[in-house]
Structure 1
Amino acid sequence: MNRHTYGEDPSQYGDLLLPDGTPRGVVVVVHGGFWKSEYDADSLGLPLAEALAAAGWAAWNLEYRRVGTGPGGGGGAPRTFDDVAAGIDHLARLDVDTSTVVTLGHSAGGHLATWAAARGRHGWAEQVPVTHVVSQAGVLDLRAADRDGLGGGAVAQLLGHPATTADARFDPAQQLPLDVPVWCVHARADANVPFSQSVDYVERATAAGAEATLVEVDGDHFTVIDPGSEAWTRQLAILDTIG
């Protein structure tokens, strides 16, 4: 594992894990935690990155500034988004083939992973385009998440105000259709992020002519990031169709 910084803040880094042999592509792991500073890439993203490298992928476990003060803080809109965009583009400076770049993110990370595929249309640089997205119980509709009070008001804390139609540049549900395929992996019994977040996104995406697939799995909010789970095996199968 090699750590690379893409900025001066302590949270602006990524860990690159490489497989034995030629990578099948790059998977950018974007951890969740409702964008809050108390959650980090080491605890949430690293186990997935290790599993991805073992499966033949180059894994880029991305950290970013989150909402809050103290270590890991200083984020929010647009800084959190600036970091994810810059972190993905930093792959161009590393010795990896970026012809296939999959963003894989859990919960708030699923939001950021999906957002990143459209970032070039909303004012961010896009030196390294995203080619595929796997959203793991992603918060894909910020307005609905804000109305539902997910994460104790986490959306308003991220944006600095309640989510509205004026926040389209930050909101995947308002950025349809995407130009790349999206798989929304979600457990119906998820008590943290409603299953409807993925269902509604896929319905709207397909109606808009985009390629989006709902993948219902058993378990809870965290089963999708358990490398020992059947839900993770299904995600590896999705990746098998890509690279």
Structure 2
Amino acid sequence: MLVRALDDWDDAYANGAHIEGAEGYPPRWAGAAAAFRETVPEVRLDIGYGAGAREALDLFLPESAPRGLAVFVHGGYWRQFAKGDWSHLAAGAVARGYAVAIPSYTLCPEAKIAAITGQVARAIAQAAGIVPGPIFLAGHSAGGHLVTRMASAASPLGQGSAMRLKTVLSISGLHDLRPLLRTTLNRDLRLDWEEATAESPALHPPRQGTRHIAWVGADERPEFIRQSELIANIWAGCGATTMLEVEAGRHHFDVIDGLTDPKSAMLDAWLG
């Protein structure tokens, strides 16, 4: 079977242009996040994990002692959004009895992706020092890349947190960054071949004992489906326990909705 090379890499990684009403999603996310912060049993905002202006996380706590720590890392091609835009995505895990940490990180082009990877590792360590028990990581799009990096053999995640890590859920994640070298996104990302290779989880073996879920919408751009299939295939061959879910009827902007529902199949797969 002949596979033709792409000639428009910007379109291959463009999401909003292929989603009806895409411009309405960010304000809805922000509104839902603000509403959730008013109703969650307990929230601790702006917990610092470093000296940078964006090196802070929000922690959402259940009514009783947490069963463990869940961490959600947001997307936006490493260039957009902040923790406060995504608070509502903690709802499902909090309802199931978990504490949920949502960090911000320094955005590109101010930071490079390798530096952001290190920030996410420090944010997880900070939250893990507050909440005991098992750790579950989830991330969307660029956030899916960042949490998958935490489970790679080349992860900057400290041994203490890594030993507690149970399941990584990458939702529409980017696991091989080399195609982004061909996009105009790279004006901000400032990737070169060396960093794109070093920061691609699919090009590293997983940590021993890794359980990884690649979850993607069936209506997403073909490159996002390919990226999810790629990590599940490669890491399964490296000995990790992997799962691939291509969710029918979901696109890049609504595939994350399962995180808000404590009874969703996504939460069942991630938190068991």
Distance in 1 (alpha carbons) for counterparts of 2:263 and 2:92: 10
Correspondent of 2:121 among 82, 85, 88? 85
Do residues 59 (structure 1) and 100 (structure 2) align?
A: yes
Which structure has the bigger radius of gyration?
A: 2
For the Cα contact (< 8 Å) 1:47–1:227, is it kept in 2? no
Match of 1:187 among 203, 217, 222: 217
Q: Is it true that 1:49 corresponds to 2:81 in the alignment?
A: no
Residues 1:230 and 1:146: Cα distance change in structure 2 (over 3 Å) = farther
**C-alpha separation in 2, matches of 1:105 and 1:192:** 19
Q: Which residue among 35, 40, 63 is the counterpart of 2:82?
A: 40
Q: Aligned residue for 1:203?
A: 233
Provide the TM-score with structure 1 as the length reference: 0.82
The Cα of 1:217 is off from its aligned counterpart by: 0.5
What is the CA–CA distance in structure 2 between the aligned matches of 1:222 and 1:128, rounded to whole Å?
30
The amino acid across from 2:218 in the alignment is: R
Q: 2-side partners of 1:131 and 1:190: how far apart?
A: 27
- How far is the alpha carbon of 1:58 from its aligned partner? 0.8
Alignment of 1:113-192 (within 5 A): 113-118=147-152, 121-122=154-155, 125-129=158-162, 130-147=165-182, 149=183, 152-154=184-186, 157-158=188-189, 160-164=190-194, 167-179=196-208, 180-191=210-221
Pairing 1:109–2:143 present? yes
- The residue type paired with residue 108 of structure 2 is V
- Aligned residues of 2:261 and 2:267 also touching (Cα < 8 A): no
Q: Is 1:30 the equivalent of 2:88? A: no
- Root-mean-square deviation (CA, aligned residues, Å) is 2.5
Instruction: Summarize deviations over 1:98-146 as a string: whole Å, max 9, x none.
Output: x311110000000001001236x45564441133100000011112344
Q: Contact 1:192 / 1:221 at 8 angstroms: preserved in 2?
A: no
- Offset of residue 227 of structure 1: 4.6
Give percent identity, aligned residues only.
Answer: 26
Q: Distance in 2 between matches of 1:195 and 1:153?
A: 19
Structure 1 gap ranges (5+): 69-73
Aligned amino acid, residue 140 of structure 2: H
For the residue of structure 1 that corresponds to 2:168, the secondary structure is: strand
**Runs of 5+ consecutive residues of structure 2 not aligned to the other structure:** 1-42
Please tell me the residue identity of whatever aligns with 2:145.
H
CA 1:220–1:230 in structure 2 vs 1: closer, same or farther (change >3 Å)? farther
Equivalent residue, structure 2, for 1:7: 50
Distance 1:228 1:80 in 2: 23
Q: Secondary structure at the match of 1:194?
A: helix
Q: Residue 124 and residue 230 in structure 1: after superposition, are their counterparts in 2 closer, same or farther (change >3 A)?
A: closer
Equivalent AA in structure 1 for residue 193 of structure 2: A
Residue 84 of structure 1 deviates from its aligned partner by 0.6
CA deviations 1:6-58 (Å, max 9, x no partner) are 1122210111111111222211110000000x322211x21111332122211
Question: How far, CA to CA, are the matches of 1:197 and 1:102 in structure 2?
Answer: 21
CA 123–17 in structure 1, closer or farther in 2 if over 3 Å, else same:
closer
Q: 1:51 to 1:191 in 2, by over 3 A?
A: same
SS of match in other structure, 1:140: coil
Residue in 2 that maps onto 1:71: none
Q: Give the 3 Å change call, closer, same or farther, for CA 229–92 of structure 1 in structure 2.
A: closer
Change (3 A) 1:239 1:85: same
Query: Is the 2:89–2:260 contact (alpha carbons within 8 Å) kept by the matching residues of 1?
Result: no
